[in-house]
Amino acid sequence: MEYVLETNTLYKKYKHFSALNGLSMHVPKGAIYGFVGKNGAGKTTLIRLICGLQEPTEGTYTLYGIHSDQPMILKSRKRMGAVVETPSIYLDMTAVDNLRQQYTLLGMPSEDGIPELLHLVGLSDTGRKKAKNFSLGMRQRLGIAIALAGNPDFLVLDEPINGLDPQGIIEMRELILKLNREKGITVLISSHILDELSRLATFYGFIDGGRMVKEMSAEELEHTCRKCIRVEVSNLKVLARVLERKKIEYKIISETEADVFAQIKVTDLALALAEENCEILTMQDRNESLEGFYMSLVGGEHNA
C-alpha cells in the first residue's frame, strides 16, 4: 500500500508533559483517515509536527516518501494543505482577499482559480463581507479553501466540525467527500466526534496517551463492530461444536459467552445444544458502535 504520511515512533515532550509517546501511523493514499482520540490524546500535536509548526523531540515522519529531517520536506509540504485547530484567515479581509494572499504566497501565476475555489466551498456570494463577520461554518470553509489553494494532494483537517451547527456539519461532510471522491485528495481528519467520523472515514487510527492504539480500515472496523447475538451458555465447548457443525461464524468472548454472527433459528440452536446437555443461559442482540469499539480500545474510563 502506498502511504502519503508515515510516522515512525514520534515523541513530543513539552516541559512537564509528553504529548506523543512513540506514535506510529500510516495514512494510505486516497483514504479519508479518521484520526480518533479524546481531548489531549495528541491529535493536534501530531498535526502540528507534520505541518512543520513544531519539531518532534524524537522520531521521524515521511511525507510523500520524504524524510522529515531532509531539506526537501519543505517542498513535499507544498503538496499538503491544512486547517490546524482554528481556520487560519485574516479576519479583516474578505474571502477573496484571503485567497489572494494565499495565492501570492504560493506564487500562483494567476488568480483565475479563486472563483472556482469559492464556489467549491460555497462562499461565492460573500462579496465584500469581511471574514470577521462570517459564521463559524463559513470561516471553516474559507480555511479549507485556503488550504486547497495550492491544489494539494493531501488535506489535513483538525477537528473540522467542532462548533458547527447540524447544517454546517452536513455541508462539511459533503465537501470532504467531494474533495476525496472527485479530486482524489487524501484527507486526514482528527476528531473526537465518532459518529460523524464513521460517516466519512475509510481508514481509522485510534490514539490514546500519545500512542497509536490501533489502525484499521473501515471494512475491518465494520467487521469488528458488526451486528451479532451474544449467547451465554453452560458449556462453551458444546456451543462451539454445534456452531461449527452448522457453519455459523462466531467469536468466543469469555468462558461462557460467544458472539454469533448470523441470524440463527433459536429453537434449532436450543434443541441442538440440549441434545448435548448444554443450556442457553442468556441471549442478546449486540450492535457495537464505533464509540463502543473506541471505548473498549482505550479502556473506557473517559469520554471519547
Partner 1 sequence: MRKLLRANFARLKKSTVFWVCMIVMFLLGIVLPLVHYSDKIQSHYEVPLDNGFFSYAIFVVILASVFTSLYIGTEYSDGTIRNKIIIGQKRVKIYLSNLIICICAGVFFCIAHLIPYLCIGIPLLGFFESGILPILLFMFSILIMMTAFIALFTLLSMLVQSKAISAVICLLTTFCLLLFGSFIFARLSEPEYYEGYSYTQNGITTTQEQEKNSLYLEGTKREIFQFLLDFTPGGQVIQLSGMETGHPEVLICYSLILIITTTGIGIPVFQKKDLK
Beta strands at 228-233 and 280-286: parallel, antiparallel or unpaired: antiparallel
One residue of 34, 42, 81, 210 binding partner 1 per CB under 8 A: 81
* Residue owning grid cell 499538503: 80
Amino acid identity of residue 160, one-letter, is P
Q: From CA 49, how far away is CA 53, in angstroms rounded? A: 6
- Measure Cα distances from 199 to 34, 114, 188, 218, 299 in Å: 10, 29, 14, 10, 24
Contact between 102 and partner 1 per CB under 8 A: yes
Rank residues 55 and 279 by Cβ distance to partner 1 and give the closer one: 55
Alpha carbon 45 to chain centroid, angstroms: 15
Number of residues counted as binding partner 1 (CB under 8 A):
36
Nearer to partner 1, 99 or 233 (CB): 99
Position 86 contacts partner 1 (CB under 8 A) = yes
Of 57 and 224, nearer to partner 1 (C-beta) is: 57
Cα–Cα distance between 56 and 61 in angstroms, integer? Answer: 9
Pairwise CA distance, residues 262 & 13, whole Å: 48
144 binds partner 1 (CB under 8 A): no
User: Of the listed pieces 52-60, 163-171, 215-223, 245-253, which binds partner 1 according to CB under 8 A?
Assistant: 52-60
Q: Which stretch binds partner 1 (CB under 8 A): 145-153, 174-182, 259-267, 290-298?
A: 145-153
| Rounded least distance, CB 139 to partner 1, Å | 10
Instruction: Note the helical H segments in 73-206.
Output: 73-77, 95-106, 113-120, 136-148, 166-182, 194-198
Q: Judge whether 5 and 61 are in contact, CB under 8 Å.
A: yes
Q: Return the number of the residue (107 or 166) whose C-beta is nearest partner 1.
A: 107
Binding to partner 1 by residue 9, rule CB under 8 A? no
Pairing of strands 257-260, 211-217: unpaired
CB of 128 to partner 1, least distance (A): 12
| Cell numbers describing residue 234 | 453452560
Q: Do residues 205 and 36 touch, judged by C-beta distance below 8 A?
A: yes
Query: To the nearest whole angstrom, how small is the minimum distance from the Cβ of residue 148 to partner 1?
Result: 12
Judged by beta carbon, residue 163 or residue 299, the one nearer partner 1 is 163
Burial of 24 (0-12, 13-18, 19+ CB in 10 A): middle
By CB under 8 A, tell whether 141 contacts partner 1: no
Site string for partner 1, 103-132 (x = CB under 8 A): -xxxx-------------------------
Q: Closest approach of Cβ 90 to partner 1, in Å?
A: 5
In our burial notation (b when 16+ CB lie closer than 10 A, e otherwise), range 155-186 reads: bbbbbbbeebeeebbebbbebbeebbeeeebb
Q: Which of 22, 40, 67, 93 binds partner 1 (CB under 8 A)?
A: 93
Asked if 174 touches partner 1 (CB under 8 A), the answer is no
> Taking the complex as a whole, how short is the minimal distance between the CB of residue 154 and partner 1, in angstroms?
11
Q: Does 163 bind partner 1 (CB under 8 A)?
A: no
- Which stretches of the chain bind partner 1, using CB under 8 A? 14, 48, 51-55, 74-78, 80-82, 84-93, 97, 100-102, 104-107, 146-147, 150
